[in-house]
A and B are shown apart, each in its own frame.
Chain A
Amino acid sequence: MQLLRLFRTTTFRLALIYLLLFLAAVLPLLGFIYWSSLMLLERQTDETLASEVAGLEELYRTSQLAGLIEAVTTRANRADGGLYLLARPDGTPLAGNLKRWPGPRDEPQGRISFDYRPKDGGEIRPARGEYFLLTGGVWLLVGQDVSQLRRIEGLILQALGVALAATLCLGIVGGIVTSRRMIQRLEAINHTTRDIMAGDLGRRVALKGSGDELDQLAENLNAMLDQIERLMVAMKEVSANIAHDLRTPLNRLRSRIEVALISLDEGGESASVLERTLEETDQILTTFNALLSIARLEAGTVASRRETLSLAETAAAVVELYEPLAEERDVRLVCEVSGPGHMTGDKDLLSQAIANLLDNAIKFSPQGGTVRVSVAPSREPQTVEIGVSDDGPGIPEADRDRVRGRFVRLEASRNQPGSGLGLSLVAAVAQIHEGRFVLEAAHRTQPPGLLARLVFPSLP
């Protein structure tokens, strides 16, 4: 698995390609070395043979066949690897240390390679020789044992093979090492990016300090992230500032309406217009306040009051608060608890988050539907989870991330009252509790419903 991953990396493939190119260059070179050293050795043998042949020929010319036979016999008895054969025209030996003519003799002179068995027995050995026809119809063969030569050839071949293998090994190991280093650095960048996508916008890619391409990439990524963070902060600040700055005039507007209402008779037309205005002002103020509390939660300026609490009890209290509402809407509200679910948190904020989830679940449940609240240890270790599920239309997978944003309301919910800030607040509460907020389908059947899960680190 690890190897497969390694192979898929660009660096490793690059290393392989380099290795192949290198091999393409090295193989002919090695071949040339092999071939030329072979040639050198063979030429040496051939030159020795040629000079010997020349000497014997000279002797034949000066001292006739008898002299030649004597010389051949003498030389053949020297155990220096030299091979000699003087043969009659039909090939039967006259003198020398070969028992018979080893090959064809079509041409008047030529070169042959042959095997022979030495006189003293033993292995068949390789040899090379030169032969020619002397002027009396007599054939002369002068050869040289080349078994030594063959051994040297074998050694050269072996050495070259070892060199090739070493090249291959070094190439592959080098490829793996460099690509692993590369992978580790890229993996670090990927890891950081994933953290950032998971919401930790403050993370930055670590620099190695060498100023290489990867460092440059990291620097650029970091600069991009700074820019994104600035923009996001600016966007949040703008909405928070608008809310903050408009709150004071709205407050005054509200108190003016209230004071005006005091002096009006109840039930009059002006009074009812003012009352409706007051209600709408309250709606706007509620939205602004929600926006501001989310901004404060996200900015971490809220000193949330942490205490050890039971998630199950907290949830049960909110369920109790919503129970009459569910009954009024003809929705069954079920609370399933396994264990107390101890954790550290701000009870008020957690209650508010659970209340928002319940509010939504009841709002979107059809008549006769069931809203299920469950508190249980999560699948992940050392976490506790609260799930709120409904039988409503659910949220399409593509929209699930989006609905946590501010003011996002899906078409399906446009006709329902609400500010579109409920889930943003839940997400913010999850964030300051180091928890996760997950939305998924509640059922496999239609309608899918929505299951909202909050997963928090738990206490033992």
Chain B
Amino acid sequence: MRILVVEDDREAAAYLVKGLKEHGHVVDHAGDGAVGLEMALGGPYDVLIVDRMLPGRDGLSLVNALREVSDATPVLFLSALGDVDDRVRGLRAGGDDYLPKPYSFAELLARIDALMRRRNPDQVKTRLVVGDLVMDLLSRKVKRGDTVIDLQPREFRLLEYLMKHAGQVVTRTMLLENVWEYHFDPQTNVIDVHISRLRSKIDKSFPSPLLHTIRGAGYTIRAAA
């Protein structure tokens, strides 16, 4: 995957580039907004990672300029301005996701994955399948094998989000944002408890688990290899 990182903090950029390369991405780096815009317009990229505050041209106007020429490359904003209104402003300017600094690398990777997935949406699905776990989005029924699994509405949304991102790492923050629509981290890790509850319903009495914990990152749902 080709990724352009527009970030003026040299050291932060260096680690970002190194980390992304380690994960098999092709990464270019621009040190200011003007160069960043030029590069973004020049080469086809799959994802842009753009810092909000940049010399030359700030992140918001960079993305505005891109969108004006109908360039729809997914953009993930990075910013030290982590408040909700900054987030909203970023998304309104044409960003696709917004990650406040400090972010964890795992979080960033998970979000890049989600952005890519969003870019190539499968036609609207009415059924989600992971291994022998099947979710029917119309009748809102979940089955694993022949067993009907009874879920609370919130558990259903949680599982739906996980299954829509099957095979990807989904972080706790992503779950809080997308399933609960909260933009803060609770003091106690309440998401873990929700996951373990869900796990007991979909995995407990089955030989192969589908829901996995990824240490230091989050969760993923995938069929046994």
Stretch in B16-24, B45-53, B126-134, B161-169 touching the partner: B16-24
User: Are the CB atoms of A322 and B190 closer together than 8 Å?
Assistant: yes
Q: Is B139 an interface residue (CB 8 A)?
A: no
Give the CA-CA distance A266 to B217 in the complex, in Å.
13
Q: Is B101 an interface residue (CB 8 A)?
A: yes
Stretch in B33-41, B69-77, B78-86, B110-118 touching the partner: B78-86
User: Are the CB atoms of A422 and B187 closer together than 8 Å?
Assistant: yes
Within 8 A of B (CB), among A285-329: 285-286, 289, 293, 296, 302-305, 317, 320-322, 324-325, 328
Task: Choose among B15, B82, B184, B194 the residue that contacts A255 (Cβ–Cβ < 8 A).
Answer: B15
Task: Give the chain B neighbours of A248 by CB distance below 8 A.
Answer: 9
User: Are the CB atoms of A321 and B11 closer together than 8 Å?
Assistant: no
User: Are the CB atoms of B188 and A321 closer together than 8 Å?
Assistant: no
User: Are the CB atoms of A275 and B190 closer together than 8 Å?
Assistant: no
Within 8 A of A (CB), among B1-35: 9, 11-12, 15-16, 18-19, 22-23
User: Are the CB atoms of B197 and A259 closer together than 8 Å?
Assistant: no
Within 8 A of A (CB), among B96-124: 101-102, 104-106
Stretch in A13-21, A352-360, A375-383 touching the partner: A352-360
User: Are the CB atoms of B11 and A305 closer together than 8 Å?
Assistant: no
Task: Choose among A258, A324, A348, A422 the residue that contacts B104 (Cβ–Cβ < 8 A).
Answer: A258
Give the CA-CA distance A229 to B161 in the complex, in Å.
48
Give the CA-CA distance A422 to B16 in the complex, in Å.
32
Task: Give the chain A neighbours of B138 by CB distance below 8 A.
Answer: none
User: Are the CB atoms of B85 and A302 closer together than 8 Å?
Assistant: yes
Taken residue by residue from 185 to 217, chain B's Cβ proximity to chain A (1 for < 8 Å, 0 otherwise) reads as 111101001101100000000000000000110
Give the CA-CA distance A320 to B157 in the complex, in Å.
13
User: Are the CB atoms of A351 and B184 closer together than 8 Å?
Assistant: yes
User: Are the CB atoms of A252 and B83 closer together than 8 Å?
Assistant: no
Give the CA-CA distance A226 to B182 in the complex, in Å.
38
User: Are the CB atoms of A252 and B11 closer together than 8 Å?
Assistant: yes
Task: Give the chain A neighbours of B154 by CB distance below 8 A.
Answer: 320
* A348-B184, A359-B186, A422-B187 given; A250·B193 CB < 8 A: no
Task: Give the chain B neighbours of A305 by CB distance below 8 A.
Answer: 84-85, 88
Q: How far is the CB of B115 from chain A (nearest CB, A)?
A: 20
* A254-B102, A256-B15, A259-B15 given; A321·B215 CB < 8 A: no
Q: Is A247 an interface residue (CB 8 A)?
A: yes
Q: How far is the CB of B78 from chain A (nearest CB, A)?
A: 11
User: Are the CB atoms of A255 and B12 closer together than 8 Å?
Assistant: yes
Task: Choose among B83, B190, B215 the residue that contacts A296 (Cβ–Cβ < 8 A).
Answer: B83
Q: How far is the CB of B183 from chain A (nearest CB, A)?
A: 5
Give the CA-CA distance A248 to B8 in the complex, in Å.
13
Q: How far is the CB of A409 from chain B (nearest CB, A)?
A: 13
* A305-B84, A321-B190, A351-B184 given; A282·B104 CB < 8 A: yes
Task: Choose among B83, B85, B106, B185 the residue that contacts A258 (Cβ–Cβ < 8 A).
Answer: B106
Task: Give the chain B neighbours of A418 by CB distance below 8 A.
Answer: 187
Q: Is A278 an interface residue (CB 8 A)?
A: yes
Q: How far is the CB of A427 from chain B (nearest CB, A)?
A: 15
Q: Which of A255, A259, A303, A362 has most B Cβ within 10 Å?
A: A255
Within 8 A of B (CB), among A66-98: none
Q: Which of A275, A305, A348, A417 has most B Cβ within 10 Å?
A: A348
* A247-B102, A305-B85, A422-B187 given; A275·B15 CB < 8 A: no
Q: Is A263 an interface residue (CB 8 A)?
A: yes
User: Are the CB atoms of A321 and B83 closer together than 8 Å?
Assistant: no
Task: Give the chain B neighbours of A40 by CB distance below 8 A.
Answer: none
Q: How far is the CB of A326 from chain B (nearest CB, A)?
A: 9
Q: How far is the CB of A259 from chain B (nearest CB, A)?
A: 5
* A289-B82, A324-B197 given; A259·B187 CB < 8 A: no
Report, nearest first, the 9 A-B pairs whose CB atoms are least far apart: A258-B105, A255-B15, A324-B193, A251-B102, A352-B184, A303-B85, A359-B187, A325-B193, A262-B22
**What would 22 A/B residue contacts be, using CB atoms closer than 8 Å?**
A251-B102, A255-B12, A255-B16, A255-B105, A258-B15, A261-B216, A262-B23, A282-B104, A289-B82, A305-B85, A305-B88, A320-B154, A321-B186, A325-B188, A325-B193, A348-B182, A351-B184, A355-B182, A359-B186, A359-B187, A417-B188, A422-B187
